Amino acid sequence: MTNPNQLLMPKATAVWLVDNTALSFDQIAAFCKLHPLEVKAIADGEAAQGIKGLNPVLTGQLSREEITRGEKNPAHRLQLSEPKVRLPEKKRRSARYTPLSRRQDRPNAILWLVRNHPELKDAQISRLVGTTKSTIEQVRERTHWNSANLTPMDPVTLGLCSQIDLDIEVERAARNRPAVMPEGETLLPASATENLDITANQEEELDADKVFAKLSSLKSDEDKNDDE
């Protein structure tokens, strides 16, 4: 069950606050539990592209008065509004299955990204699944302590990142990828073609000389026959 004192859809809320308020990046980051640089990236259009902003005032999680206080005082930290309705917590009838923790799922997600999107850099994979570069290298080089049991798994399905975030990183990697030269025959340098032309001309001249020499010999043979 969702904690009533926990912000709903923090990234979408951050998008709305960036676009509709004069709050600082630090204030928005603290309220949405994000890094200030991530909020700055949202403001610059480098992150959260395609995410529709969520108005926390309409959801009852932030009051307009609280936003005004934050805009007037950059040191003020926004506080979540108390929920108007509290739902009683459901009693569990039986023990619920507990899935693998995200920490255990990360190597599987890394293996999936390495195999399906080799164009992604380590820093991009680190941003997507929240891991370290050393772990990425271990998974890629098959030196991870659990390599034998790793299974490629989509990080979106595991809940480690959103499909939008994955698409953004893949698109960014594709833009930065160097152009691949086509394989096969390539144009020869000018110097080589010039040499070829000279050689061809020389061969043509040699062939002409041979032809004239042959004609001359034939003519002289005819003259001899006439004299006889």
What single-letter amino acid sits at 42? I
Residue that finishes a domain, picked among 31, 50, 72: 72
Indicate the range of 9-13, 111-115, 198-202 predicted with least confidence: 198-202
Structural domain includes residue 214: no
Q: What is the Cα–Cα distance from 161 to 130, expressed in whole angstroms?
A: 9
Q: What is the Cα–Cα distance from 126 to 103, expressed in whole angstroms?
A: 13
Structural domain includes residue 169: yes
Q: 108 and 67, same structural domain? A: no
Q: In whole angstroms, how far apart are CA 126 and each of 29, 92, 135, 168?
A: 20, 36, 9, 14
Q: What is the Cα–Cα distance from 100 to 31, expressed in whole angstroms?
A: 28
What single-letter amino acid sits at 107? P
Do 128 and 160 form a contact (C-beta atoms < 8 A)?
yes
Residue 138 exposed, middle or buried by CB count within 10 Å (0-12, 13-18, 19+): middle
Q: 153 and 108, same structural domain? A: yes
Residues of the domain holding 169 = 102-176
Q: Residue 224 above 80 pLDDT?
A: no
Residue that finishes a domain, picked among 53, 72, 91: 72
SS3 label, residue 15: helix
Do 65 and 40 form a contact (C-beta atoms < 8 A)?
no
Q: Residue 87 above 50 pLDDT?
A: no
Structural domain includes residue 45: yes
Among candidates 32, 66, 129, 127, which has minimal Cα distance to 43?
32
Q: 115 and 57, same structural domain? A: no
Among candidates 79, 81, 75, which has minimal Cα distance to 24?
75
Q: In whole angstroms, how far apart are CA 141 and each of 82, 130, 205?
A: 50, 19, 63
Residue that finishes a domain, picked among 72, 90, 122: 72
Q: 42 and 108, same structural domain? A: no
SS3 label, residue 17: helix
Structural domain includes residue 168: yes
In the chain, how many domains are there? 2
Residues above pLDDT 70, as percent of the chain: 66
Q: In whole angstroms, how far apart are CA 224 and each of 211, 215, 217, 218, 219?
A: 20, 14, 11, 10, 9
Can you tell me which residue has the tokens 């850099």? 121
pTM: 0.39
**Mean pLDDT of the 36-62 span:** 86
Q: What is the pLDDT of residues 160-214, one digit of tens each?
A: 888 898 889 888 888 876 655 555 555 555 555 555 555 555 555 555 566 566 6
Among candidates 55, 18, 53, 49, which has minimal Cα distance to 36?
18
Structural domain includes residue 88: no
**Mean pLDDT of the 59-75 span:** 91
DSSP of 157-180: HHTSS-HHHHHHHHHHHHHHSPPP
Q: 162 and 109, same structural domain? A: yes
